[in-house]
Structure 1
Amino acid sequence: MEMAFTAQLLLLSSLFLQPVLVLSQTNGSIAVGGSLTATAEGNSSSSWLSPSGDFAFGFRPLGNNDLFLLSIWYAKIPDRTIVWYANNKPAVAPLGSSVNLTAHSGLVLTSPQGKELWKSETIVGVVANGVFNDTGNFVLEDDSSKKLWESFKNPTDTILPGQIIETGGSLASRQSETNYSKGRFQLRLQQDGNLVLNSINFTTASTNTPYYGSATTTGTVPGSEGKQLVFNDSGYLYVLRENGGKYTLTWGNRVSAMAYYTRATLNFDGVFAQYVHPKTFSGNASWEPLWSLPENICLDIDADSGPGVCGFNSICALSAADKRPKCECPRGFSLLDPNDLYGSCKPDFIQSCEEKEEEHLYDVQMLTNTDWLTSEYSRLEEFTADNCSESCIQDCLCGVAIYSNQTCWKKELPLSNGRVDSSLRATTFIKFRKDNSTLPVPPSPSPDDKKNNKTTFTGIRPVILATALLVCLVLIAAAFSLGLFFTFQKKQVRIMQSGLNISLRPFSYQELQEATNGFTEELGRGSFGVVYKGIIQNGSQVQVAVKKLHCVIQDGDKEFKTEVNVIGKTHHKNLVRLLGYCDEGQQRLLVYELLSNGTLASFLFADVKPSWGQRIEIAYGIAKGLEYLHEECSTPIIHCDIKPLM
């Protein structure tokens, strides 16, 4: 009886599962009106399969946060490697989101509340159906089988066999292995035919000098410039020249396209590589690199190519196994964000020029073949290695000394483009504090100093140092909102236009985490932090920009709050307003009103350039804001510096 009941239950379950299986196991053709929904059942999400089952299109779960990525991935290998994804901001969709195939808008991704999160680019024509090919290409066709849109023409970070990138096309890296927002690096086939790798300046959205180039431009041979980046069906990647010649990128061991999956990906660390994976495999099979570009990204990204792969004060080393960069903090330094292994390193001590007997407090770690490209402030000739080391220890400004060929270069923090390689032939002395202790807060200025209206630096130097750093951060954050603007206000911060009427408000970290939906929608970033879009509740929903600082003000909570109060006492119509802050543990965040029109850079460098009259108005407005900061507010503020008048 029990066995009969079990059999009936299994039969009943199979009847309920049948529609889902039919939906997933398509022949590659999807009719208009078809849809998928991001579900958490079974820790998986619904999808459409290509005819062979090699590829899947649908929702891939991201961790355990009830967030999903609309994407295409390899369906038959365990790691389900993603090769394409909807890369709008944010690049993730919450549980319950759906994608629909429509006649006039193509693929449309919506949230559970019906908000449009992403859609395929403008469709010229009427979509009759979708076709998911065994190449991994998802195509939208009209009733005459004309292609109206295809994922191959809108690549993200990966190119597959059968895919072509035309002149002007590009791949963009993701931010990290698990963060699919747009990252710092891109591969472009330029209009001149040169295939290049370069980093992106997030502040201006401009591109830095390439750190790799194929040199497929017009030369002595007519028509030698590249016109397409081709990944053929046999798994060979090359730049096709105008004259029919080829500049081949694929090299190394040859593999069978019948026996191996292959892809070429621009990794989040800026390395472009081709990988292969056996189609028939044991449990230990994985993606293996065939080749990668550039040869050594730690060395090939120089100062003109922008910041290196690793953050400030970090050291980049190339892994011999896969030619990928690894980052490491030197002794006396630790990661600003322990979860970001490629991020900046902060010193675990405070160095001050007010201390005496400097040489007894500090020591150096000696590294070989290590260097940082920037921040040099002194060059000393005819020195020995010992002289170089001792000179740095005794110099309160020195963070690192580089010694080579009887020359000593002294450099100050922060340092960028750090690298280690046997070709550098340099000895590096990294300064650190022996006891890793911090300095006590210095006494306040005396009443006599105030009476004489003197600016006392000896008593408040660490405070000014921390203050200067904070205002630098404010300036960087304001640049994302409308160029060189700050966020300041007087004792009572009032947002008249938005209906917000609150005092400068302290926020908890959890409040801001919830307001930004887990810091998912990034507005921009600078050297010291990232700006996220958020919504706070004050009777109604108010949009804000939340600046999450990477650095920790080492003088403590009191100084941080004092600085926030100082900038909170300024108010001008040309300055973005400060609404509040978070000072909780190691977390430092600033909350601003949101300027929804985007950055000044995006306006200045758009396809349609502003008129000269508009440019004059912009310059005049910025000048008025700076004039107020310099001369009119109660506490004059200079760029990257606050100087209280005493």
Structure 2
Amino acid sequence: MSTSCSGALRAATTKALLLLVVAVFVVSLSRPFPCAAAARDSLLRGASIAVEDHATDVLLSPDGTFACGFYVVSPTVFTFSVWFARAADRAVVWSANRGRPVHSKRSRLKLNGRRRALVLTDYDGEVVWNSTVSANATATATAARARLHDSGNLAVEDASGNVLWQSFDHPTDTLLPTQRIAAGEAMVSADKLLAAGFYSFRFSDYAMLSLVYDNHEMSSIYWPNPYYSYWQNSRKIYNFTREAFFDASGHFSSSDNATFDASDLAKNVAVRRRLTLDTDGNLRLYSLDEVTGTWSVSWMAFSNPCIIHGVCGANAVCLYSPAPVCVCAPGYGRAEPSDWSRGCRPTFNSSDDGGQPRAMKMVPLPHTDFWGFDINSSENLSLDECSTRCMSEPSCVVFQYKQGKGECYPKSLMFNGRTFPGLPGTAYLKVPADLDMLEIHIHQWQADSDGHGIAAIQEDIVGCGGMSSPEFLLNVSNASSSKSNQGKSIWFYFYGFLTAFFVIEVFVIAFGCWLFSNKGVFKPCQVSALDEGYRMVTNHFRTYSYAELQKGTRKFQSEIGRGGSRCYKM
């Protein structure tokens, strides 16, 4: 009897538990998940968002394209931002406090009712940012909600839907379709931590839409082309409208006649786009592939990044071959090994130990130009006359000389340096006459007269460790005329080996990309759009005569190895 009662009790208990599990499951289905419950398009008056809930408590636009909330800059650093929710890299299009991020604990965004509206506070309660209601709003205007629209615009509205404040009136580094940039407003580039950078996109004092570099010490316009007049750039000045925007089809227009189009213009008006002033100072228009969630560049202001001002800092030159490479001018060394925007500083003193000026000489840098900072300019001068002017002027550090008209441009600062084949003119750098500087440090595009003595120059741009000058390894063939046939044989095998290695490498890379992309292991091989025009290569090549190599290696004194050919250190 007791056995049967025990069995019946166990059966009843099991049945009750099953019914309880089913009931809990049904109730859970009848309620939205926490993430879904927090995903809303509006923040009502008196409500707030806590930084601890950043993964779930966000505002979503009705169509789900944009999200707004606390954005993770690092594990302990957050900004309150708007970003593309459907993009793989969650491109940020607006930030309230990119210059003053908040902590990952106890930070909060709250919607108040009166003039301050949205208020962002840090962990200690300090107000970091607030969206002061527009002065155009009535004195009795009360914020009823903050709403994220399908356009990506975050707006504070009253109970009737009237906009009291909107993020579209305060662009950061990105412009969205239908968003306008007007007089007094500017897009400002972001650095790697989303703080404001040195580049801006705004109307200049002449009411001309321009890209401006400003590092708080010097400022210059680099787009439209500063060498041209406004009519050569097809622009209008002193226009009173001062307004620019681009539409969903990818067409950009401005009141000063600036205009450009996306490469995929009108192919699909539903394409999501953004115009971003990137960290490197290049203005790019991006199109989103919503299937893959990746961005592609559909227009950019510069195909040659060396034209962008400040890309290498002061006393440096940007080489374009065809990727941008920063190098210090001869006699100068890196100011900050990890940041080329800090430029280079001289490794010499202009005066001797007694305070007397040192004798100087001019070092030629062919096909090189430093934009701006002209002391004066003249035409119909000989090279010697131009050199004399710079030598006699203490503030002159370099002069630009162009043959033909005899154009002479003495300069007080080496900035915005660039060099590439075909660039007219030569820059002549003023350095102490006794400065021990090898000619090989000077970048030139000139072929060796007899074809011998090809040298490979390697400079570690990224991790140079603060070296004032790069380390040069020269792979030198035997240049003696009595052994010319042996040298040709060595180079034949050398180039044959390189060619075979290159073919094999291309085949392996292509096969690997095809294999892994088909199996879903990796995404298709492609270069990130943000890396376009930005990465720095680490080596560059030129040819040298045997006499140059003999001089540079001090008659081949320091042999560091040998194989098919000998290697010497400069």
**Does the TM-score normalized on the shorter chain lie above 0.5?**
yes
Q: Give 1:185's aligned residue.
A: 199
User: Residue 262 of structure 1 aligns to which amino acid in structure 2?
Assistant: R
SS in 2 for 1:52: coil
The whole-number CA distance in structure 2 between the counterparts of 1:232 and 1:114 is: 40
Which residue in the other structure is 2:316 paired with? Answer: 314
Residue 119 (structure 1) aligned with residue 127 (structure 2): no
The aligned counterpart of 2:188 is 173
1:97-121 Cα offsets, whole Å, 9 max, x none, are 2111222222110011111000112
How far apart in 2 are the matches of 1:423 and 1:344? 25
Residue of structure 1 equivalent to 2:543: none
Return the alpha-carbon distance in structure 2 between the equivalents of residues 109 and 186 of structure 1: 25
Q: How far apart are the structure 2 equivalents of 1:82 and 1:46?
A: 17
- Tell me what 1:70 maps to: 80
293, 300, 304: which one aligns with 1:292 = 300
Measure, in 2, the Cα distance between the counterparts of 1:364 and 1:46: 62
Q: Distance in 2 between matches of 1:233 and 1:49?
A: 20
Q: Secondary structure at the match of 1:249?
A: strand
| CA shift for structure 1 position 415 | 2.0
Contact 1:194-1:226 at 8 Å conserved across structures: no
| Cα distance change of structure 1 residues 216 and 377 upon mapping to structure 2, 3 Å threshold | closer
Counterpart residue number, 1:629? none
Match of 1:434 among 403, 423, 436: 436
TM superposition shift of 1:373: 3.6
**Cα–Cα, structure 1 residues 408 and 188, in superposed 2: closer, same or farther, change >3 Å?**
closer
Aligned-pair distance for 1:159?
0.9
Cα shift readout 1:591-632 (whole Å, capped 9, x = no counterpart): xxxxxxxxxxxxxxxxxxxxxxxxxxxxxxxxxxxxxxxxxx
Amino acid at match of 2:101: V
Residue aligning to 2:492: none
**SS, match of residue 35 in structure 2:** helix
Which residue in the other structure is 1:643 paired with? none
The answer to whether residue 158 in structure 2 is matched with residue 139 in structure 1 is: no
Which residue pairs with 1:100 in the alignment?
110
Distance (Å, rounded) in 1 between the aligned partners of 2:70 and 2:381: 61
C-alpha distance in 2, partners of 1:62/1:25?
A: 21
- Could you tell me which of 402, 405, 409 is aligned with 2:403? 405
Q: What is the alpha-carbon distance in structure 2 between the residues aligned to residue 376 and residue 193 of structure 1?
A: 27
1:86 to 90, 96, 114: 96
Match of 1:417 in 2: 416
Cα distance change on mapping 1:369 and 1:263 into 2, 3 Å = same
Q: CA deviation at 1:142?
A: 1.0
Question: Match for residue 333 of structure 1?
Answer: 332
Measured after TM superposition, the shift of residue 357 of structure 1 is 13
Shift of 1:339: 2.8
1:369 and 2:380 are equivalent in the alignment: no
Alignment of 1:529-568 (within 5 A): none
Secondary structure in 1 matching 2:342? coil
Determine the structure 2 residue equivalent to 1:382. 382
Supply the distance in 2 between the matched residues of 1:238 and 1:395 (Cα, whole angstroms): 46
Equivalent residue of 2:123, what SS? coil
Deviations 1:421-456 (Å, cap 9, x if unpaired)? 5564123355584379xxxxxxxxxxxxxxxxxxxx
In the alignment, structure 1 residue 55 sits paired with structure 2 residue 71: no
Distance in 2 between residues matched to 1:258 and 1:121, nearest whole Å = 35
Counterparts of 2:321 and 2:351 in 1: how far apart (Å)? 37
After TM superposition, give the deviation of residue 177 of structure 1 in Å.
Answer: 3.8
Three-state SS of the structure 1 residue aligned to 2:340 is coil
Confirm or deny: 8 A CA contact 2:351 2:358 kept in the other structure.
no
1:233–1:257 Cα contact (<8 Å) kept:
no
Change (3 A) 1:418 1:110: same
Q: Given the superposition, is the C-alpha separation of residues 191 and 362 from structure 1 closer, same or farther in structure 2, using an over 3 Å criterion?
A: closer
Check if 1:343 corresponds to 2:358: no
Confirm whether residue 32 of structure 1 aligns to residue 48 of structure 2: no
What is the identity, as a one-letter code, of the residue corresponding to 1:95?
A: S
The residue correspondences of 1:622-637 to structure 2 (distance < 5 A) are none
Structure 2 residue matching 1:312: 3-state secondary structure: coil
* Partner-residue secondary structure (3-state), 1:342: helix
- 3-state secondary structure, aligned to 1:145: coil
**CA 169–292 in structure 1, closer or farther in 2 if over 3 Å, else same:** farther
How far did 1:311 drift? 2.2
Q: Which residue number corresponds to residue 195 of structure 1?
A: 209
Give aligned-pair identity as a percent.
Answer: 26
Partners of 1:401 and 1:218 in 2: CA distance: 32
> Can you give the 5+ residue segments of structure 2 that lack an aligned partner in the other structure?
1-17, 225-229, 439-570
CA deviation string 1:213-265 (max 9, x = no partner): 6766489xxxx864532322333222368xxxx86422534264556331112
Secondary structure of 2:87 counterpart: coil
Aligned-partner Cα distance in 2 for 1:314–1:94: 38
Deviation at 1:363, TM superposition (A): 9.3
2-side partners of 1:248 and 1:130: how far apart?
Answer: 34
TM-score, scaled relative to structure 2: 0.56
Maintained 8 Å contact 2:396/2:413: no
Once the two structures are superposed, residues 380-406 of structure 1 have per-residue CA deviations (whole angstroms, 9 ceiling, x without a partner) of 953479x969x98x9999754544328
Aligned partners of 2:365 and 2:176: how far apart in 1? 45
Q: Secondary structure at the match of 2:314?
A: coil
| RMSD between superposed Cα atoms in Å | 4.8
Contact conserved, 1:373 with 1:418, CA < 8 A, in 2? no
**1:150 shift after superposition:** 1.2
Q: Does residue 1:236 correspond to 2:238, yes or no?
A: no
| 1:35 CA displacement | 2.0
**Contact kept in structure 2, 1:188 and 1:196, CA below 8 Å:** yes
Matched positions, count? 394
Q: Distance in 2 between matches of 1:147 and 1:384?
A: 67
Counterpart contact for 2:79–2:102, Cα < 8 Å: yes
Inter-CA distance 236–413: structure 2 relative to 1 (3 Å threshold): closer
**Mapped partners of 2:268, 2:50: distance in 1:** 33
Q: CA deviation at 1:92?
A: 1.5
Measured in 2, the distance between the counterparts of 1:413 and 1:24 equals 59
Considering only CA atoms, is the larger Rg found in Structure 1 or Structure 2? Answer: 2
